[in-house]
Structure 1
Amino acid sequence: MPLLTRPLFANIKQDFCGALLEFIGTFFFLTLAYGGVQATTSAGGVGQPAPNALNVFIASVNFGFSLLVSAWLFYRVTGGLFNPNVSLALFLAGVIGPVRFVLYCIAQLAGAIAAAAVILALSPGPCSYNTRLQEGINPAQGVFIEMFVTSYLVLAVLMLAVEKHHVTPFAPVGIGLTLFVCELWSIYYTGGAVNTARAFGPAVVTGFPYGTQWVYWVGPCLGSLLGVSFYMILKHWNYWVINPDQAVTDTSLSPPDPVLVIQQRAASLRRRPTDSGEQIRPRNGKPQTAANGSTGETQNGTPENHQEASQGSMV
């Protein structure tokens, strides 16, 4: 039954089961990510100053590869969303229904809180995985940075996982790498949320120490709208006809050997016409038909011997 015409609570049992597993998956993903960031900053000493380039790179790797591993493990279970903004994108694209969307968002926020609390309890020192705007970045800049990076992640999910093709089973790899490069840009300036739940969990367990939590709700939600809008434009334009056969595995559709192509073109230029009726001019200067090899053809194509025969009959 199509999703739009399906009763609202037709799959409520599966929706609750999916939400429970999304809670576990989000907890799995964020304990790895939070724990990696906490360990990175603690390795340089408690109370370390602003992160340097190496810390930015390591934290980006933590989040990207944590999502890659977690999404691959839960990919066939719930889709491995772990992000309310991805859930919003799938809802707007018609992939999941409203009940599942609401339950997933609640489960993802709860999983982020649980993960942040566990890492805070198990790690020494202050919470270093909280999100805040870097000095010199105003809230408007933070909103747009989060909007753009979230839209990139959302588009990666839609094009690699939602769109079905031969490399769909490997979608978690592309999605994890997308988060990695998004973090390389955003993690220093905004903390690299790219996910409202990722910013909300640490803020809850630390008592909302910064007054810019709204940035991590507005920016990623706008990113969801931007990513879905571009995806819908691509679908409306039938993007697959622009570069057809891109996802097939038929080797016969690959380009031929360029050396053979050159040889075939050279041979076609050297080949003499045989049965096309084309005229070629030999060395004696008289035209010769390729069809019968006769010479002395007049301009209108009538052979001379035929013309003489005609004249003789007239006499």
Structure 2
Amino acid sequence: MARNILPLHKRDKTDTPSTRNASTIVPSEQAPSPSHEPKHHHQPHRPRHENALHSYVNNFWRNEIVAAAAEFAGTFMFLFFAFGGTQVANTAALFSDRATAGQENSGLTQAPNTSVLLYISLIFGFSLMVNVWVFFRVSGGLFNPAVTLGLLLIGAIKPIRACFCFFSQMFAGMAAAGIVSAILPGPLNVSTNLGTGVTPTMGVFLEMFLTSLLVFTIFMLAAEKHKATFLAPIGIGLALFVAEMVGVFFTGGSLNPARSFGPCVVTRNFPGYHYVYWFGPLMGTLLAFGMYRIVKIVEYQTVNPGQDFDDHEAAAFKPPKDAETAEQVGRPNVAALAVEEAVEEAVRIVSRGSREERDEEERIDGRLERGEQPRYVSERELLGRTGHGRV
């Protein structure tokens, strides 16, 4: 007898010696008929999937360790390419015009050479954009203690993860500066220094405003979820690029304590105003947090609602004239509205059919009372269904 060739068919039997022997000794009249076969086919039990680190650490600490490792890798990649590009720009400026290179104390070029400044700004902005896009689904792609502090303040991350990320970012900054210094020729020229005529007070406030732009961009594009959140890395990278265009010439454009601390450790040269690159980003984060809290308190969604809606959502969007809360201008659920409309239409069709059927029954009953006979086959069928066929 031919077997069914379909895999996992419920009538397939494993052709083992035990089944063959059983089939030879069981009489044909005692063989189970097809009607006695089990009606339910049970799939084989599948073992539960476990994480590779489940046996070594619980899930909470596993997640924190993975996030910290991703922050180290992402910060290292971001600063490695940024430092490498800055080293290229500074080396080119040094060989092209040593008199205007401005590389005292292993600092980056801060001469009025706009092509070099543009190159440095581009490499920092694009390196951040690419690496945030790579790592944001793992650790969030913070790469900056100032950003870590900001996300902690708004409740996007927990204190334990913030601490882990902070140390990962600082070690990654030192590692990136050390690797660039080791594998590229010449002295490391990527440290941040104040430009000519820039006082530490000026540097602190400039770093504050530059950092506030970056952190506030992250708040509005990444922390505030919307339909374009997956494109947030582009806006974040462009924000750093714009900030670097202003800051490189005057302060070196740090915006990131890890970015300034790493090269100082490698070159063993801490300027007396190194605190500028800690207090400035710290104050910038607090400024961005204050701005974010204000727009959240006033519920900014009510000011210009529906700006990232698609055509279907915009068509279904019917906010009040002067909305008071964010819930009143929330994104409409187009799928739920479509299902609701379909159900209402079905109810209308059913009710209309029932009403027409009742009207027809009343007309036929009226003719029967007058002694008339049904004129159409459909009327006879309707009479039979309603119990009037014997009248």
TM-score, normalization by structure 2: 0.61
Q: 1:24 aligns with which of 68, 73, 88?
A: 73
**C-alpha separation in 2, matches of 1:144 and 1:113:** 25
- Mapped pair 1:153 → 2:214: yes
**C-alpha separation in 1, matches of 2:298 and 2:311:** 25
What is the one-letter code of the residue matched to 2:214?
L
Instruction: Note closer, same or farther for the CA distance 1:252–1:22 as it changes in structure 2 (3 Å cut).
Output: closer
Q: 2:142 aligns with which of 81, 85, 105?
A: 81
| 2:88 aligned counterpart, secondary structure | helix
What is the one-letter code of the residue matched to 2:161?
R
Shift of residue 10, structure 1, vs aligned partner? 8.2
Higher relative contact order (CA 8 A, sep 6+): 1
Is the 8 Å Cα contact of residues 124 and 241 (structure 2) preserved in structure 1? yes
Equivalent residue number for residue 208 of structure 1: 269
**C-alpha separation in 2, matches of 1:45 and 1:162:** 41
Q: 2:90 aligns with which of 27, 41, 44?
A: 41
Shift of residue 171, structure 1, vs aligned partner? 0.2
- Mapped pair 1:12 → 2:12: no
Equivalent residue number for residue 246 of structure 2: 185
**C-alpha separation in 1, matches of 2:121 and 2:233:** 16
| 1:188 aligned counterpart, secondary structure | coil
Q: 1:53 aligns with which of 114, 131, 134?
A: 114
| 1:219 aligned counterpart, secondary structure | helix
Equivalent residue number for residue 227 of structure 1: 288
- Mapped pair 1:108 → 2:157: no
Is the 8 Å Cα contact of residues 93 and 116 (structure 2) preserved in structure 1? no
Q: What's the CA shift string for 1:18-62, capped at 9, x where partnerless?
A: 011100000000001000000111123456334311111110001
**C-alpha separation in 2, matches of 1:18 and 1:79:** 8
What stretches of structure 1 move > 4 A for 4+ residues in a row? Answer: none
**C-alpha separation in 2, matches of 1:213 and 1:252:** 51
Equivalent residue number for residue 96 of structure 1: 157
Question: How large is the RMSD of aligned CA atoms in angstroms?
Answer: 1.6
**C-alpha separation in 2, matches of 1:41 and 1:222:** 29
Shift of residue 252, structure 1, vs aligned partner? 7.6
- Mapped pair 1:126 → 2:187: yes
Q: 1:244 aligns with which of 286, 292, 305?
A: 305
| Structure 1: stretches of 5+ with no match in the other structure | 1-8, 255-315
| 2:156 aligned counterpart, secondary structure | coil
Shift of residue 139, structure 1, vs aligned partner? 0.3
Shift of residue 251, structure 1, vs aligned partner? 6.1
What is the one-letter code of the residue matched to 2:278?
W
| 1:54 aligned counterpart, secondary structure | helix
TM-score, normalization by structure 1: 0.75
What is the one-letter code of the residue matched to 2:86?
V
**C-alpha separation in 1, matches of 2:193 and 2:162:** 27
What is the one-letter code of the residue matched to 2:288?
G
Shift of residue 12, structure 1, vs aligned partner? 2.7
**C-alpha separation in 2, matches of 1:103 and 1:209:** 25
| Structure 2: stretches of 5+ with no match in the other structure | 1-57, 103-109, 316-391
Equivalent residue number for residue 256 of structure 2: 195
Q: What's the CA shift string for 1:156-212, capped at 9, x where partnerless?
A: 001000111011000000000000000001111000001111111111111124211
**C-alpha separation in 1, matches of 2:266 and 2:63:** 30
Higher Cα Rg, which structure: 2
Q: What's the CA shift string for 1:250-269, capped at 9, x where partnerless?
A: 26849xxxxxxxxxxxxxxx
Q: How many residues align?
A: 246
Equivalent residue number for residue 41 of structure 2: none
